[in-house]
Amino acid sequence: MVHLSFKNTAIVACGTMSPELSHLQEKGFLDTDYLFYTTPGLHQDIHELEKQVIKFVVKAKKKVRDVIVVYGGKYCYVKPDNPTRLMETIIHEQGLHVARIETTHCMGMLASNDELEHIKQELVGGEPVWFMTPGWVKYRTQVFKGWDKGTANENFPRHTGGAIVLDALGYLDKYMAEQPEEFLEYCDWMGISMQAYPITLDRFKGLLADQLKKLADH
């Protein structure tokens, strides 16, 4: 991949994706000085989500011309009282120099639908799977804010293939080694097993680069 510079671009992202974005910043791919994170788990509080995204985009535009928003679409922002208002609507309202990474959710930032299907087939013979990113583990209390054991029982056990963490960082192995009791408690709360699937960040980097190129053309 030809090196592209994000030096004049800000990133506004869901805090759930901070492990991957911080890693890309440390490795020099994401050479921006402006990374803004919303609170993880705001897909459960869309009014606060919209408020924080707009606040950080406005803040970012005071620093640089271009802004890339790292948020999914239909799975991250669902407004029952106004279903035609989409994440894309919010981004469009922010002006020409604001673009959003083109995926429906954070798992899609790390793996395509075909790749997710391949992972399911490879690991659990195609059984239903609850996919997660490291951020869903790191920020569990915020991502599942308000969930009790009953809510967990309604959602997780039907995923008979368990939970699979799309892990480009070796995060889950470290978590299991350093906090084994917490890891086991998390699995017990979900009522399903959890395992990591090692991936690269190539797809994520490509999706970020796509938006950088589009913004450069404006």
- Would you write out the chain's pLDDT as a tens digit for each of its 218 residues? 456 899 999 999 999 999 999 999 999 999 999 999 999 998 888 889 999 999 999 999 999 999 999 999 877 877 778 888 888 899 999 988 999 999 999 999 999 999 999 999 999 999 999 999 999 999 999 999 999 999 999 999 999 999 999 999 999 999 999 999 999 999 999 999 999 999 999 999 999 999 999 998 87
The per-residue pLDDT for 2 is 55
The per-residue pLDDT for 77 is 74
The per-residue pLDDT for 31 is 96
Rounded distance, CA 98 to CA 108, Å? 20
CB atoms within 10 A of CB 121: 11
Count Cα atoms within 13 angstroms, Cβ side, for 69. Answer: 34
Residue 111: both structure tokens together: 């793996």
The per-residue pLDDT for 60 is 97
Count Cα atoms within 13 angstroms, Cβ side, for 191. Answer: 13
The per-residue pLDDT for 1 is 46
Rounded distance, CA 213 to CA 133, Å? 26
Residue ranges per structural domain of the chain: 9-107+201-217, 112-198
Burial class (CB in 10 A: 0-12, 13-18, 19+), 62: exposed
Closest to 29 (Cα-Cα) out of 7, 54, 52: 7
SS3 103: coil
The per-residue pLDDT for 3 is 65
Backbone angles phi, psi at 117, to 5 degrees: -65, -40
Rounded distance, CA 209 to CA 39, Å? 24
Model pTM score: 0.93
Rounded distance, CA 188 to CA 15, Å? 25
Amino acid in position 133:
T
Strands (E), the chain: 9-14, 35-38, 66-70, 98-100, 130-132, 163-167, 194-198
- Residues of 71-105 as b/e, b for ≥16 C-beta within 10 angstroms? bbbeebbeeeeeeeeebeebbeebeeebbbbebeb
